[in-house]
Chains A and B, each alone.
Chain A
Amino acid sequence: GDSVTQMEGPVTLSEEAFLTINCTYTATGYPSLFWYVQYPGEGLQLLLKATKADDKGSNKGFEATYRKETTSFHLEKGSVQVSDSAVYFCALSGGSQGNLIFGKGTKLSVKP
């Protein structure tokens, strides 16, 4: 079945460092791909999405490109801030019940 694999971390970076969180997927169809962010003590918020191959999603300085040839959707940010400390989830649409299929999450800690 469909699945998502992302680096599990935790990832610890200094402020202004470059961030990459890897995400690869397995899907039989043509899913939409998402990154969600969960700040401490809160629910999940959509960070960005891409609905077809070669689409780039972007928001708040974060970017991810839907790469069908490598089945990847890696999250990047050029200069992280302390406020970016959170857990990041990669997800794809296309669960048989219309649900999202999530990776296990990557915890990011940014130190000043």
Chain B
Amino acid sequence: IAGITQAPTSQILAAGRRMTLRCTQDMRHNAMYWYRQDLGLGLRLIHYSNTAGTTGKGEVPDGYSVSRANTDDFPLTLASAVPSQTSVYFCASRPDGGGAYNEQFFGPGTRLTVL
């Protein structure tokens, strides 16, 4: 089934630990995004990638890094987790035709708790 998968589904992490959230899509979309969802704040962009080999910072990039070695995978890394990074993280991708006016497809999310 075509779509976006994310792993893990949920995680409890001790502050200071390193964590990588995985995201894989099989739709061959060039553009991919990481958002975090916090109550009362909606979704905010963390990092994005317009194509394999390129990445960029979004609205709330501090404490996060990404890589895009190929079209399908877009992992998000927390180098040293802090409690304020407790959130639900969504990976998304966007079809190429129509550019930025297209809708995005979302993964099921990763619920991360940093203690």
A residues engaging B (CB < 8 A)? 8, 31-32, 34, 36, 42-46, 49, 51, 89, 93-95, 97-100, 102-105
Q: Which residues in B have their C-beta under 8 angstroms from that of A31?
A: 101
Q: Which residues in A have their C-beta under 8 angstroms from that of B107?
A: 43
Number of A-B residue pairs, CB cutoff 8 Å, is 61
Q: Which residues in A have their C-beta under 8 angstroms from that of B90?
A: 43-44
- The answer, among B92, B101, B109, for a CB contact under 8 Å with A51, is B101
Q: Does B31 contact A (CB under 8 A)?
A: yes
- The answer, among B48, B102, B105, B109, for a CB contact under 8 Å with A97, is B48
Contact indicator A43/B42 (Cβ below 8 Å): no
Chain A nearest Cβ from B87, distance in angstroms: 14
Interface centre among A43, A93, A94, A105 (most CB of B within 10 A): A43
B residues engaging A (CB < 8 A)? 31, 33, 35, 40-45, 48, 50, 56, 58, 90, 92, 94, 99-109
Q: Which residues in A have their C-beta under 8 angstroms from that of B50?
A: 97-98
Residue of B nearest to A49 (CB): B103
25 interchain pairs, CB-CB under 8 A:
A8-B40, A32-B103, A36-B106, A43-B90, A43-B107, A43-B108, A46-B103, A49-B103, A51-B101, A89-B43, A93-B100, A93-B102, A93-B103, A94-B101, A95-B45, A95-B100, A97-B56, A97-B58, A98-B48, A99-B45, A99-B48, A99-B58, A103-B42, A104-B40, A104-B41
Chain B nearest Cβ from A24, distance in angstroms: 14
How far, in angstroms, from A103 to B92 measured CA to CA in the complex? 17
Chain A nearest Cβ from B78, distance in angstroms: 20
Query: Quick one: given A89-B42, A97-B58, A98-B31, are A43 and B106 in contact (CB under 8 Å)?
Result: yes
**15 other A-B residue contacts (CB within 8 Å) besides A36-B106, A94-B101:** A32-B102, A42-B109, A44-B92, A49-B103, A89-B43, A93-B101, A95-B100, A97-B48, A97-B58, A98-B50, A98-B99, A98-B100, A100-B92, A102-B43, A104-B42
